[in-house]
Amino acid sequence: MIEMKGVYKTYPNGVTALNGIDVYIEQGEFVYVVGTSGAGKSTFTKLMFREEKASEGSIMVNDYDLMTIKERNIPYLRRNIGVVYQDFRLLPKLTVYENVAFALEVIEESPDKIRRRVMDVLDQVRLKNKARFIPDELSGGEQQRVSIARAIVNHPKLLIADEPTGNLDPDTSWEIMHILEEINEKGTTILMATHNKGIVNTLRRRVIAIEDGLIVRDESRGEYDYEI
């Protein structure tokens, strides 16, 4: 589902964030991306949904060639990719229900079907009872669950999470992880950049470690292995 070969990324200011990445990720995998701050983790994930374009190399995601994809086709690529951020990025004036419904790519669906899909996904993240709340009325963990609901409402094949537990306390972080695991069990590939050593070393999954823009370690049931 994801294949990178000889990928380099140099930003306009001259900083080289990725220095020759080769990686293959299959549909259904759960992958942690670890590394010190500035190692290149965010850049690595941003390349997958064309938030950033590689300077060199080849990238295939869900059968799209990201080096040659036309601007007008990028929205189709992104339809199959959900993204979750550390700081949630919800629309503050919309309710929980509206934040999720807003993201739904509606193609001639009946209002009834839309409502059902939004409520189903809110049920999946256990927030059905807060559909009418606005983000400010929710705890951090609840806001992150809304952002997960928004990310999966279109049934994406790939979910990218950039430090999804970075702003949350340990108990809340575990809640988020259980939800991500359930999503992965249903077949969605998950790529999660994280500094959460406890989670990586407990929920053992594939670990890709990045240092100075290079993959320095790639293990199928890996460990965190940093002192931060």
How far apart are CB 34 and ligand ADP at their closest, in Å? Answer: 9
**Tokens standing for residue 31:** 């992958």
Based on CB atoms, which residue is closest to ligand ADP, 79 or 177? 177
Footprint (CB under 6 A) of ligand ADP, residues 25-64: 35, 37-43
Q: Total residues at the site for ligand ADP (CB under 6 A)?
A: 17
- SS3 of the chain: CEEEEEEEEECCCCCEEEEEEEEEECCCCEEEEECCCCCCHHHHHHHHCCCCCCCEEEEEECCEECCCCCHHHHHHHHHCEEEEECCCCCCCCCCHHHHHHHHCCCCCCCHHHHHHHHHHHHHHCCCHHHCCCCHHHCCHHHHHHHHHHHHHCCCCCEEEEECCCCCCCHHHHHHHHHHHHHHHHCCCEEEEECCCHHHHHHCCCEEEEEECCEEEEEECCCCCCCCC
Based on CB atoms, which residue is closest to ligand ADP, 17 or 66? 17
Asked if 94 and 134 count as a contact pair (C-beta separation under 8 A), the reply is: yes
How far apart are CB 170 and ligand ADP at their closest, in Å? Answer: 12
Footprint (CB under 6 A) of ligand ADP, residues 138-197: 138-140, 142
Based on CB atoms, which residue is closest to ligand ADP, 73 or 129? 129
Based on CB atoms, which residue is closest to ligand ADP, 124 or 194? 194
Residue nearest to ligand ADP (CB): 139
Based on CB atoms, which residue is closest to ligand ADP, 15 or 106? 15
Based on CB atoms, which residue is closest to ligand ADP, 13 or 68? 13
Asked if 58 and 65 count as a contact pair (C-beta separation under 8 A), the reply is: yes
How far apart are CB 67 and ligand ADP at their closest, in Å? Answer: 19
How far apart are CB 56 and ligand ADP at their closest, in Å? Answer: 15
Footprint (CB under 6 A) of ligand ADP, residues 84-143: 137-140, 142
C-alpha separations of 212 from 36, 110, 172 in Å = 9, 49, 31
How far apart are CB 37 and ligand ADP at their closest, in Å? Answer: 5
List the one residue from 2, 4, 7, 17 that touches ligand ADP (CB under 6 A): 17
How far apart are CB 2 and ligand ADP at their closest, in Å? Answer: 17
Q: Which residues would be at the binding site for ligand ADP (CB under 6 A)?
A: 11, 13, 15, 17, 35, 37-43, 137-140, 142
